[in-house]
A and B are shown apart, each in its own frame.
Chain A
Amino acid sequence: MAKIIGAVVVDEEKCKGCNVCVNECIHDVLALHKEVNSYGYHYSYMKNSDKCIGCANCGLVCPDTCITIYRAKV
């Protein structure tokens, strides 16, 4: 059976670190980075990239539209 693998790319400079995407991700993929962007926000990033299935839920709830989502079958 083919496996679905996803990836999340966050525009780090546009992310305001609201944490809504992190909270929405039921696969525990995302977290806020301990580093900050130039605005001083702890931006969202893929902490556990192997768990992402590309469901796009994080992108849907992102108020700043700074998430692009990829999905591939392997």
Chain B
Amino acid sequence: MGELRLMKGNEVLAEAAIRCGCDGYFGYPITPQSEVMETLMASEPWNTTGMVVLQAESEVAVINMVYGAAGSGKKVMASSSGPGISLMSEGISYIAGAELPCLIVNVQRGGPGLGTIQPSQADYFQAVKGGGHGDYKMIVLAPASVQEMNDFVDLGFELAFKYRNPAMILTDGAIGQMMEKVELSDYKPRNTVDEIEKIAGNWATTGKKPGNRRNVVTSLELDSARMEENNLRFQQKYKKMEEEECRFEEILCSDAEYVIVAYGTSSRVCQKSLEIARSKGFKVGLLRPITLFPFPKKAIAKLAEKVKGFLSVEMNAGQMIEDIKMSVYEAGKNVRIEHFGRMGGIIPTPGEVVDELEQKFS
């Protein structure tokens, strides 16, 4: 059993980074995630694990520091919230284009624009459809508890390095600010110079070795045929992610006539909704995507064979519902798919969700 603590989600992100052997964190303050960098600065990991923590002048600088450090084969991460992630999108595109691993956390707040500092899930499209320019995808992990905030830091790095691709933890202000019991991971040492050479020696800027080809980290390729080849390689990688990395949780789905699809904070609310709905005789289940990209298309398609309807519950105007519709359509099924969402930083209540279910499906 690992060390048990009562901690905020944001603090856990920092603690998990130190414990998983992260080499560097770059950040810029933004509500509701400022505790990540505050916790790191107070922990002074440079004195213990040697991890570097730097407050940059902007999110634009943050992501480019991540790009630089990731290019040298190090385990690096950044965290921010919607407006900051928008600024980082250029850099994320470069990181994806140069095929570098890194971990980015978006502790979502309500938008668009400056919006609100209250929790939201309105950056779903930005996270799973790209956000920056060009055809690229990120692995997107959606924690629903403070425990998963801990677990997904290490997992995020593991997947990022496995695919040499940026990974994102897409959470929100509620989980970032919430205090829960958490079992912290054990300390893992940072990669040594030799280990980095083994993992990344054939692509990272670790210094040209005598006689060896040098490494150039770039996303630029002016030859169209070769650029298309690069793109085809990226697409193959994303396809492999879809085949191998899809993660989800099913709750009470085996006998369900209706299935709620919800992730993160809204999935917690919906767990309570299941109880209420079932007490009223409504056979409802919950599918909780844990990876938003890759999206659990096959699980949805399988459920579509037997359920009468899906309700996508999101803290936005209806974004994930498009992926649910796509999953059902691609499986050649025809099931009713509805959306219920609250916006502006409002978290739906379990009762509201049940009311929606009753209105839309009875």
A–B touching in complex (CB under 8 Å): no
